[in-house]
Amino acid sequence: MELLKAENIKKVAVVGAGLMGSQIAEVLSRIGKYRVSVTDVSDEFINKGLASIQQRLDQFFVAKGKMTPEEKKEITGRIEGTTDLTKAVSDADFVIEAVTESMAIKKDVFRKLDADAPPQAILASNTSWLNITEMASVTKRPDKVAGMHFFNPVAVMKLVEVVKGANTSDNTVEVTYALARILEKEPVVCRDVSFGFLANRAYVAMTSEAVQMVWERVASPEDIDKALKLGYNLPVGPLELSDRIGAWAIRAASEEDRIKELGSEKGQLHPLIRLMVRAGYTGGPGKKGIYDFWKEVLSKW
């Protein structure tokens, strides 16, 4: 079988039309080299994802004179939305999975991708920290499975982590790396033995220490974030960011996956995060997080 080359990629399929999937599809289409397909489980999710692309292009490009309405139409015209996974990936050269951060769900998706995508197609995951080797194990092409971790917002953030599983071939890493460069990103390569890969591993460590300081009542979340922002020139503190994106719920969900596998509740989740999530303080748009939990519960407990 002839090895895939980055310059020969004609179509890229994105699985998942949510926050990250829709942004990845947008960046792929803006390059102008690819046909892009976005697939999800319902028309509602597809339509919401495509609408978010239109909104971002209007708000950040057309309204600021960085793009003409005609150019926007060309970009959106290269993106096809469908609920038919087989149709989306059957003629794809490269597939990027961007579904929920659950190993069980991702494994199910990769089984389907392996069955439906062409045998030479590379299957990549946008996971933030889940193990690539484990995902690849459910396919008959583990050499063609890699991580391709974009950062939010995808159009702005330059970093892409290319993650090499135990069986990922050098060719797969090279093609994934080259695709990231074509998308005008700055890729780095790491092995999937590092939980959280590179950026998230270091950032989660900082966030965990910040959580521990809240747990010890060293200071309020606001003051801890303020110290980190001013001390290290961060645009936003790790606790505030976690509140915004709903990271507490994501980390708790990852813990639940581990509990099911281990058969016990002896995981690695900080007790404060477990306590917050069980009390409904998950973070995310319109939801309460650690700032609220401090004011309403922990400071009085």
Active-site positions read 128, 149, 161, 200
CA distance 77 to 280: 41
| Contact status, residue 75 vs residue 34, Cβ threshold 8 Å | no
**For residue 152, which of 48, 244, 62, 265 has the smallest C-alpha distance?**
244
Crossing angle (nearest 10°) for helices 247-262 and 238-245? 80
